[in-house]
């Protein structure tokens, strides 16, 4: 159990900066997922916490103790690597017990703890095998057992599931979550897979190009993405984003040849400006021609539980999820209503979110008011 | 490319048989010649049929060239070269690959260019160093104090002199470096997370993982050490330190002596044997170590 504080941490390789000042705080026992596209610096951040990369500037504290100059073994972290990094010449038992062997734990106790740990991950029958004789999922378990046996304060996962096939990934995801509930050590999990991120995280950190875009609970981030990047990165199919214009005079949002009326007061508050508007495909509603925006269906993706139609709005691709009852074929015309309540509006220059609602819902007042002031 | 036509097959076999004869030919001559009598080996035409005099000829060669001492010397020399080389290469490559030091690239290239300087090229300066090891210190002392100190310290007629110059080359280092580079970075990182320091990592991970590599290098180096001729010839004047390759000369019939080539051939057969055994025993790993890394 340990809390982690990351203060103004920077990283550059030579003269190329990769992390531009990261400030994060994780509570003890939290499951944190760091999500971002490849090259955003998420793995670098994780490796800096582990002690495998030097910290160029700023500091990282684990349990209140600054660890910048500590060796990995002194930090109380255990790490699961993307390619497992098992020791190929050792048996499963040897792999799991290596940390204890290095630490000089007597053989009898070592064997007992190896057995115990192997039970947790379900590998008791495989202790004598070499990694080469194991399946991908089993190797993954060995890697986790190797981390568990050290009883670390902090678990670090560096994209541990990306080498597994889709089905195994779902199983292992559930196992990691269960393991966390059982051991309740602070866990930091790096991934580029937003489904993993949404399902695992207590706290989600979205990173892009070496900066933190947004920190929050997964659902919060899904419903209120703080920037265009977060909006487009979270959710599948991805959020539809299109250019729009706010007209104060007409009190409307103009885009793709249509005008959506908005309250005069709101229009006046936002002011005459170009914005980027987003709506999630699952929040578009099929409506009558009179109420909705008419579009031509280009093609349809069948998902079984529903279907995704692909179309165009104002020259930009537009996707919408519809239920399985509504039958459409490529070439059909369909009218979609885009409910104002589900629209996300972003400043086109800064990419930041602009709040539409006037009255903040209870509980989130402060942050929202700040956002309003920022606008 | 696989072609299954009678002509291609015939051609393939033709080339293979030709190559086989080319390689086995001299060996057959040695085998049959070494087992013949003095008259038979000098008969014209030469008979390729082995006879029954092999052991007699061998024992004659053994005493004539005092092969006992020579074989022992060669064996010690080849073993020292092998062990020294493997240890040095494994450690140098370890330093070059796994440590982030500012002059890493420089040191690697310094080691690497010695590949272009085999012993034969640097034999004169190497001899100068080996023959007078104290020289740098003497020069320093005379430059600073003006005194001429005379200390006689050299490596002539010693196992150190025979082996050290052969150990200090880059071939093995390069082989090891290439092997270390195939290991994923995460392996070292995982070991670090598990609390293992560099030396522990070297002993627990790199040594067992590089086993095939080590055996390949052992094979090459043993044969290389055994076959040295020029360097022992320069370093050794004392017959106590003679190596087999030098005794081979003693086995040659002298210009006006009896041309007993059967004894010469029997002697070379004995000398050939140890490296042959090493290769035969280690060849399985030898091929594996050079071709692919064990996954």
Exposed, middle or buried by CB within 10 Å (0-12, 13-18, 19+), for B148? exposed
A146–chain B Cβ distance below 8 A for any pair? yes
Interchain contact, A87 vs B191, CB within 8 Å: yes
For A53, name the nearest residue in chain B, comparing CA atoms only: B189
> Hey, what are B171's tokens?
């071939």
Residues on chain B bordering chain A, Cβ-to-Cβ distance under 8 angstroms? 184, 186-187, 189-196, 200, 204-205, 208-209, 294-295
What per-residue confidence (pLDDT) applies to B293? 46
pLDDT, one tens digit per residue, over A126-147 is 999 999 999 888 999 999 999 9
Query: What is the per-residue pLDDT across A349-366, written as a single tens digit (0 to 9) for each?
Result: 888 998 876 544 444 434
What is the tens place of the pLDDT at every residue in A335-349? Answer: 888 888 889 999 988
Distance from CA of B211 to the nearest CA of A (A): 10
Query: What is the distance in angstroms between the Cα of A135 and the nearest Cα belonging to chain B?
Result: 15
* Residue range A115-128: mean pLDDT, rounded: 91
Sequence-distant (≥ 6) Cβ neighbours of residue A112 within 8 angstroms: none
CB contact under 8 A, A77 and B193: yes
Q: State the pLDDT at residue A48.
A: 94
Contact A150 B194 (CB under 8 A): yes
Examine the pLDDT at A195 and tell me if it is beyond 60: yes
Alpha-carbon gap, residue B223 to B44, rounded angstroms: 35
- The alpha-carbon gap from B213 to the nearest alpha carbon of chain A, in Å, equals 14
Rounded CA separation A294/A300 (Å): 16
| pLDDT of the residue at A365 | 39
β-bridge partners, A337: A285
Right CATH number for B6-122+167-293 from 1.10.3720.10, 1.10.630.10, 1.20.140.10, 3.30.2320.50?
A: 1.10.3720.10
A72, B193: Cβ pair inside 8 Å?
yes
Is B287 within 8 Å of B59 (Cβ atoms)? Answer: no
Q: Would you state the pLDDT for residue B290?
A: 62
Chain A positions in Cβ-Cβ contact with residue B208 (cut-off 8 Å): 89
What does the pLDDT profile of chain B (295 residues) look like in tens digits? Answer: 666 788 888 998 999 999 999 999 988 888 888 888 888 878 788 788 888 888 888 888 888 888 888 999 999 999 999 999 999 999 999 998 988 888 888 888 888 888 888 778 888 888 888 888 878 788 888 888 877 777 777 888 888 888 888 887 788 888 899 899 999 888 999 999 998 989 999 999 999 999 888 888 898 899 999 998 888 988 888 888 888 888 888 888 877 777 788 888 889 889 989 998 988 888 877 777 666 544 4
A255/B contact by beta carbon, under 8 A = no
Phi, psi angles (nearest 5°) of residue A3? -95, 155
Q: What's the pLDDT at A369?
A: 42
* Tens-digit pLDDT profile for residues B118-177: 778 888 888 888 888 878 788 888 888 877 777 777 888 888 888 888 887 788 888 899
Give yes or no for residue A87 having a pLDDT over 90: yes
Residue A367's pLDDT band, with cuts at 50, 70 and 90, is very low
A78 Cβ under 8 Å from any chain B Cβ: yes
**Could you give the CA distance from residue B239 to residue B254 in angstroms, rounded to a whole number?**
19
CA distance A324 to A310: 15
User: What's the burial of B121, exposed, middle or buried (CB within 10 Å: 0-12/13-18/19+)?
Assistant: exposed
Please list the helix, strand and coil fractions of chain B in percent, rounded to the nearest 5, in that order.
75, 0, 25
Express each pLDDT in A259-318 by its tens digit. 888 888 888 888 888 999 999 999 998 888 777 888 889 999 988 888 999 998 878 889
Tell me the pLDDT of chain A averaged across its residues. 88
Best of A46, A79, A85 to disrupt the B interface (most B CBs within 10 Å) is: A85
Would the CB atoms of A98 and B200 count as touching at under 8 Å? no
> From the candidates A99, A139, A152, which should be mutated to test the interface with B, based on the most B CB atoms within 10 A?
A99
pLDDT exceeds 80 at position A219: yes
Confidence (pTM): 0.79
């Amino acid at each position: 159990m340990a809390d982690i504080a990351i203060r103004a941490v920077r990283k550059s390789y030579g003269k190329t900066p990769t992390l531009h000042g990261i400030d994060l705080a994780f509570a003890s026992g939290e499951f944190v997922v760091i999500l971002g596209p490849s090259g955003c610096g998420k793995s670098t951040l994780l490796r800096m916490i582990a002690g495998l990369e030097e910290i160029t500037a700023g500091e990282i504290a684990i349990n209140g103790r600054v660890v910048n100059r500590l060796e990995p073994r002194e930090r109380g972290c255990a790490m699961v690597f993307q390619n497992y990094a098992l020791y190929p010449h050792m048996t499963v038992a040897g792999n799991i017990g290596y940390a204890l062997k290095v630490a000089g734990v007597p053989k009898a106790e070592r064997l007992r703890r190896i057995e115990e740990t192997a039970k947790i991950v379900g590998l008791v029958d495989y202790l004598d095998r070499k990694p080469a004789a194991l399946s991908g999922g089993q190797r993954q378990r060995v890697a986790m057992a190797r981390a568990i046996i050290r009883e670390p304060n902090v678990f670090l996962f560096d994209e541990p599931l990306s080498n597994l096939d889709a089905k195994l990934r779902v199983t292992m995801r559930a196992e990691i979550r269960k393991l966390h509930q059982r051991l309740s050590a602070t866990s930091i999990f790096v991934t580029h897979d937003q489904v993993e991120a949404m399902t695992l995280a207590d706290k989600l950190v979205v990173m892009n190009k070496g900066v933190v875009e947004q920190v929050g609970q997964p659902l919060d981030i899904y419903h209120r993405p703080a920037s265009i990047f977060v909006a487009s990165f979270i959710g599948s199919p991805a959020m539809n984003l299109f250019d729009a214009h706010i007209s104060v005079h007409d009190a409307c949002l103009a885009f793709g040849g249509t005008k959506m009326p908005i309250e005069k007061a709101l229009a006046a508050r936002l002011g005459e400006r170009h914005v980027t508007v987003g709506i999630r495909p699952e929040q578009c509603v099929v409506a009558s021609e009179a109420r909705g925006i008419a579009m031509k269906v280009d093609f349809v993706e069948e998902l079984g539980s529903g279907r995704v139609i692909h179309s165009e709005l104002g020259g930009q691709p537009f996707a919408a999820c519809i239920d399985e009852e509504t039958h459409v074929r490529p070439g059909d015309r369909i009218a979609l209503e885009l409910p104002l309540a589900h629209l996300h509006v972003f400043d086109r220059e800064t990419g930041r979110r602009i709040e539409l609602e006037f009255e903040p819902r209870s509980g989130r007042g402060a942050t929202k008011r700040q956002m309003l002031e920022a606008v | 490319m696989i072609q299954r036509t009678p002509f291609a097959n015939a051609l393939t076999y033709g080339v293979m048989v030709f190559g086989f004869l080319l390689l086995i030919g001299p060996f057959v001559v040695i085998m049959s010649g070494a087992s013949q009598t003095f008259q038979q080996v000098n008969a014209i035409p030469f008979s390729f049929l082995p006879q029954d005099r092999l052991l007699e000829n061998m024992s004659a060669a053994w005493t004539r060239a005092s092969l006992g001492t020579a074989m022992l010397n060669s064996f010690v020399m080849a073993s020292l070269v092998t062990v020294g080389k493997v240890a040095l290469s494994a450690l140098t490559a370890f330093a070059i690959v796994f440590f982030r030091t500012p002059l890493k690239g420089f040191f690697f290239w310094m080691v690497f260019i010695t590949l272009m300087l085999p012993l034969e090229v640097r034999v004169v300066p190497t001899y100068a160093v080996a023959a007078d090891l104290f020289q740098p210190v003497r020069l320093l002392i005379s430059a600073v104090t003006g005194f001429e100190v005379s200390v006689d310290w050299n490596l002539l007629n010693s196992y150190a002199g025979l082996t050290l110059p052969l150990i200090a080359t880059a071939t093995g280092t390069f082989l090891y470096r290439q092997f270390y580079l195939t290991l994923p970075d995460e392996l070292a990182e995982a070991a670090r997370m598990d609390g293992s320091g560099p030396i522990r990592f070297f002993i627990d991970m790199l040594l067992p993982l590089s086993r095939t590599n080590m055996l390949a290098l052992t094979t090459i180096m043993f044969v290389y050490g055994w076959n040295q001729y020029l360097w022992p010839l320069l370093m050794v004047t004392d017959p106590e330190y003679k190596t087999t390759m030098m005794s081979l000369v003693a086995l040659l019939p002298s210009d006006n002596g009896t041309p007993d080539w059967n004894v010469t051939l029997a002697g070379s057969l004995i000398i050939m044997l140890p490296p042959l055994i090493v290769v035969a025993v280690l060849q399985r790993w030898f091929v594996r170590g050079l071709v692919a890394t064990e996954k």
